């Protein structure tokens, strides 16, 4: 029985990747439904709604009464409508109290099914058909592992008629679903509803982020083609396909596409494995972990040194020889598969640095970024092999391999060396070494890009290169951006802002060496001290000050290793229009990747906002910790200014309502 080449590789892809898709489908073993609620209520009347949770398999759903600091997240119900409030403490069916092996502590949990009763009240101005609009935050574990916390929406229609004789009075701020308190870095906080009466916005950075990351992956794939151990492999594919006697017409197209699919699958499996090991909840921890950042930095340095010609990274020759032998001996789909694996293996010494760079970029994204990154990289990498396999005559138009390929390789080595500084800076910030300061990082970049520019100008040569004083127009034009960028960075040594590049550099510190400060010590230091005093790291103290000054609280959930956070703090926050609005708020900055206070800050962020994404900005009412406005992700000046204005307006409306009620 003959199987077409394309179907053969599609089958392989399904078999290899189906476990990951099955896992994605099984990531939510809990379903919720409303099983009891009144058909008609009065506005302001407190009534109960009963919700049933069905829990699949051996998963445990945690009790609403568990201590949030004990480990897993307790189940929490919140209102997401400004027309209603949770009017008291929820109750639940009797949970089992057992020792949780994942957290080594006694916890209450439910298996099979559980019921929750939530007291609800609609505001006095609500009438007619109304929606009970709830959100449940929950986490499930079994005896071996835990799934990341998730949120689900629960809705139910109720008819509202008339006004209760004794309406629920606490509509000044929506009540919490859980009344217990928890501890954060600075003391205790009340678990208020994370979304009631608030506008939760997600910046379009998510869309920009995935496309920007995909662009990086595609660029890395195309760049890898220009290296000495990949470019010469392209003609080999033509000779291989020319040996296929039946490689004509539709069959030739199927063989070529199958060949490309095999390359894509090879690299995508790497990304899929990394996605599984990281998990849906581990992307942020992975990105912030100093050991991970140190490992990535060392890998980039090793790859950079390799690209600069110090040594070659190669797979064991026994493996590459075996793959090559199999590709020559086999025919049809099997032969194409081994040919694709041979190319992937032989080109490892040049593709490894690019693969490492793409995987390093995944630290700023979601769990699925490694899969997308490797698929994008491999698609770009495989595209010319497929094209020349389909149209062998195109090969005649390719430039001959030569010294230009080594130039590209060296330049990419310089770029990877510069990228390593970013990850070393992350380690330095989390562990508080104080070695890689902003001036140090800028000086290192200046040296790297200056050396790259001088290399292109032929001032010096790398080992194993023939010395030549003559350079072509191409090298001259290519040298200019490297030299210009190194000169552009020089004002940064004097304390000047570097625009978007500040996002990749350590934040400014009062202890940084600055030429400007040496000539204008008083003015510069005074400005920096004023800026630093604007931000508090203690939420409870900031809340007390805000109450005294009748201001809302602005919370900046940020991270030392967060590039978008740094971009906001250096390019948006210092703008006069933004600082003017900040002056009307009490500002708090909480680092969620700090070595000591980070975990508590991250728990606080998740309980308050329902997300651990960075950056997250919250404007809340200090009286009841009600979120007024919330923004997630990078935002430009206009969007961020609108967010601040909306929060201030919301706060003014709330305080005006309270004042009129008191009168």
**Residue that terminates a domain, selected from 402, 437, 472:** 437
490 within domain boundaries: no
pLDDT per residue over 516-526, tens digit each?
Answer: 444 444 444 43
Q: Say yes or no: 54 and 169 in one domain.
A: yes
Torsion angle defined by CA atoms of residues 101, 106, 111 and 115, in that order, rounded to the nearest 10 degrees: -150
pLDDT per residue over 597-609, tens digit each?
Answer: 877 888 888 888 8
Residue 588, H or E segment: strand 586-591
First-to-last alpha carbon distance for the chain, in angstroms, is 88
Q: Say yes or no: 269 and 358 in one domain.
A: yes
Q: Say yes or no: 36 and 161 in one domain.
A: yes
Q: Say yes or no: 168 and 264 in one domain.
A: no
182 within domain boundaries: no
Contacts of 650 (CB under 8 A, 6+ apart): 197, 198, 199, 619, 628, 629
Residue 129, H or E segment: strand 128-138
Rounded CA-CA distance 461/611 in Å is 51
Nearest CA among 612, 611, 615, 619 for reference residue 646: 619
- Residue 342's pLDDT is 60
- Choose between 148 and 576: higher pLDDT: 576
Nearest CA among 5, 6, 57 for reference residue 31: 57
- Choose between 532 and 629: higher pLDDT: 629
Rg of the chain taking only CA atoms, in angstroms: 30
pLDDT per residue over 190-228, tens digit each?
Answer: 333 333 444 444 443 343 456 777 787 788 778 777 654
**Residue that terminates a domain, selected from 378, 411, 437:** 437
506 within domain boundaries: no
Residue 348, H or E segment: helix 348-361
Predicted confidence band of residue 35 (pLDDT cuts 50, 70, 90): very high
Rounded CA-CA distance 538/184 in Å is 9
Residue 156, H or E segment: strand 150-163
Please state the pTM of the whole predicted model: 0.46
Phi, psi (rounded to 5 degrees) for 180: -70, 155
3 state DSSP class of 54: strand
Tell me how many domains the chain contains.
3
Residue given tokens 């693969």 in the structure block:
355
3-state per-residue secondary structure call for 272-317: HHHHHHHCCCCHHHHHHCHHHHHHHHHHHHHHHHHHCCCCCCCCCH
Asked whether 374 and 365 are in contact (CB, 8 A), the reply is no
470 within domain boundaries: no
- Is the pLDDT at 622 greater than 70, yes or no? yes
88 within domain boundaries: yes
Rounded CA-CA distance 299/273 in Å is 19
522 within domain boundaries: no
Nearest CA among 4, 2, 5 for reference residue 336: 5
Q: Say yes or no: 149 and 229 in one domain.
A: no
CA angle, 493 then 495 then 496, to 5°: 100
Rounded CA-CA distance 514/50 in Å is 63
Range in 58-67, 348-357, 584-593 with the lowest mean pLDDT = 348-357
Query: Of the segments 218-222, 503-507, 637-641, which one has the largest average pLDDT value?
Result: 637-641
Contacts of 441 (CB under 8 A, 6+ apart): 421, 425, 505, 506
123 within domain boundaries: yes
Q: Which residues pair with 108 in a beta bridge?
A: 97
pLDDT per residue over 315-348, tens digit each?
Answer: 455 555 555 555 555 445 555 666 666 666 555 5
pLDDT per residue over 378-403, tens digit each?
Answer: 788 778 777 776 766 665 555 555 56
Nearest CA among 343, 359, 280, 349 for reference residue 309: 349
Rounded CA-CA distance 87/173 in Å is 11
pLDDT per residue over 262-273, tens digit each?
Answer: 777 877 776 666
Predicted confidence band of residue 163 (pLDDT cuts 50, 70, 90): confident
pLDDT per residue over 140-153, tens digit each?
Answer: 887 766 776 788 88
567 Ramachandran zone, left/alpha/beta (phi>0; psi -120 to 50): alpha
> What is the layout of strands, in order, in the sheet containing 626-632?
199-202, 626-632, 616-621, 553-558, 586-591, 535-536
Domain span holding position 83: 28-173
Tokens of 559: 């991270």
Give the chain's mean pLDDT: 72
Q: Say yes or no: 137 and 274 in one domain.
A: no
CATH number at residue 73: 2.60.40.1250
Range in 81-90, 225-234, 492-501 with the lowest mean pLDDT = 225-234
- Residue 288's pLDDT is 60
CATH number at residue 643: 3.40.30.10
Predicted confidence band of residue 34 (pLDDT cuts 50, 70, 90): very high
Q: Say yes or no: 273 and 397 in one domain.
A: yes
Q: Say yes or no: 230 and 168 in one domain.
A: no
**Residue that terminates a domain, selected from 377, 409, 437:** 437
Rounded CA-CA distance 445/439 in Å is 10
Rounded CA-CA distance 551/586 in Å is 6
- Residue 412's pLDDT is 75
Write the burial class of residue 463 (CB in 10 Å: 0-12 exposed, 13-18 middle, 19+ buried): exposed
Q: Say yes or no: 167 and 269 in one domain.
A: no
Q: Say yes or no: 385 and 244 in one domain.
A: yes
339 within domain boundaries: yes
Range in 91-95, 393-397, 483-487 with the lowest mean pLDDT = 393-397
How much of the chain, in percent, has pLDDT values that exceed 90? 14
Contacts of 598 (CB under 8 A, 6+ apart): 288, 591, 592
Q: Say yes or no: 278 and 361 in one domain.
A: yes
Q: Say yes or no: 407 and 278 in one domain.
A: yes
Predicted confidence band of residue 283 (pLDDT cuts 50, 70, 90): very low
């Amino acid at each position: 029985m003959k199987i077409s080449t394309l179907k053969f590789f599609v089958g392989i892809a399904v078999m290899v990747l189906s476990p990951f898709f099955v896992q994605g489908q099984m990531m939510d073993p809990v379903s919720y439904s409303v099983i009891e609620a009144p058909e008609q209520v009065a506005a302001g009347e407190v009534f109960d709604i009963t919700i049933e949770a069905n829990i699949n398999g051996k998963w445990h759903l945690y009790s609403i009464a568990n201590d949030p600091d004990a480990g897993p997240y307790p189940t929490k119900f919140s209102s997401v409508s400004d027309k209603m409030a949770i009017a008291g403490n929820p109750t639940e069916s009797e949970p089992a109290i057992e020792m949780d092996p994942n957290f080594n502590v006694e916890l209450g949990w439910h298996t099979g099914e559980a019921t929750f009763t939530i007291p609800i009240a609609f505001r006095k101005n609500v009438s007619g058909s109304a929606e009970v609009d709830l959100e449940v935050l929950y986490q499930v574990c079994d005896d071996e592992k835990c799934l990341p916390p998730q949120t689900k929406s629960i809705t139910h229609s109720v008819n509202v008629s008339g006004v209760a004789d004794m309406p629920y009075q606490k509509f000044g701020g929506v009540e919490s679903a859980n009344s217990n308190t928890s501890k954060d870095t600075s003391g205790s906080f009340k678990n208020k509803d994370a979304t009631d009466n608030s506008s939760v916005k997600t910046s379009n950075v998510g869309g920009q982020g995935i496309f920007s990351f995909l662009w990086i992956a595609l660029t890395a794939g195309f760049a890898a083609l220009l290296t000495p151990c990949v470019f010469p492999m392209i003609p080999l594919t033509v000779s291989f396909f020319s040996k296929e006697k039946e490689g004509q017409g539709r069959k030739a197209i199927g063989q070529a596409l199958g060949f490309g699919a095999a390359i894509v699958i090879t690299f995508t499996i790497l990304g899929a494995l990394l996605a599984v090991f990281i998990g849906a909840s581990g992307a942020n921890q992975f990105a912030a972990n100093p050991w991970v950042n140190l490992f990535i930095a060392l890998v980039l340095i090793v790859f950079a040194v390799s690209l600069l010609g110090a040594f070659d990274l190669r797979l064991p020759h026994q493996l590459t020889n075996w793959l090559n032998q199999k590709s020559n001996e086999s025919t049809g789909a099997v032969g194409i598969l081994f040919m694709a694996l041979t190319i992937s293996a032989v080109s490892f010494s040049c593709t490894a640095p690019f693969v490492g760079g793409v995987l390093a970029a995944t630290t700023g994204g979601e769990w699925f970024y490694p899969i997308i990154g490797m698929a994008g990289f491999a698609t770009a990498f495989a595209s010319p092999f497929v094209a020349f396999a389909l149209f062998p005559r195109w090969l005649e138009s390719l430039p001959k391999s030569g010294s230009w390929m080594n130039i590209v390789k060296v330049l990419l080595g310089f770029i990877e060396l510069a990228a390593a500084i970013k990850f070393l800076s992350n380690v330095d910030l989390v562990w508080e070494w104080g070695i890689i300061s902003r001036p140090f990082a800028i000086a290192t970049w200046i040296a790297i890009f200056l050396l790259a520019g001088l290399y292109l100008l032929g001032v010096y040569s790398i080992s194993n290169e023939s010395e030549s004083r003559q350079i072509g127009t191409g090298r001259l034009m290519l040298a200019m951006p490297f030299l210009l960028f190194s000169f552009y960075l020089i004002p940064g040594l004097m304390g000047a802002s570097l625009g978007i590049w500040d996002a990749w550099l350590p934040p400014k510190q009062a202890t940084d060496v600055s030429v400007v400060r040496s000539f204008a010590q008083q003015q510069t230091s005074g400005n920096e001290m004023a800026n630093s005093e604007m931000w508090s790291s203690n939420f409870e103290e900031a809340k007390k000050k805000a109450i005294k000054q009748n201001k809302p609280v602005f919370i900046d959930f940020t991270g030392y290793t967060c590039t978008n956070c740094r971009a906001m703090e250096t390019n948006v926050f210092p703008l006069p229009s933004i600082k003017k609005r900040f002056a009307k708020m009490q500002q708090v900055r909480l680092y969620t990747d700090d070595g000591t206070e980070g975990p508590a800050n991250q728990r606080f962020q998740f309980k308050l906002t329902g997300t651990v994404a960075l950056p997250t900005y919250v404007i809340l009412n200090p009286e009841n910790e009600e979120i007024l406005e919330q923004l997630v992700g990078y935002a430009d000046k206009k969007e961020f200014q609108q967010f601040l204005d909306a929060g201030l307006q919301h706060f003014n409306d709330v305080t005006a309502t309270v004042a009129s009620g008191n009168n």
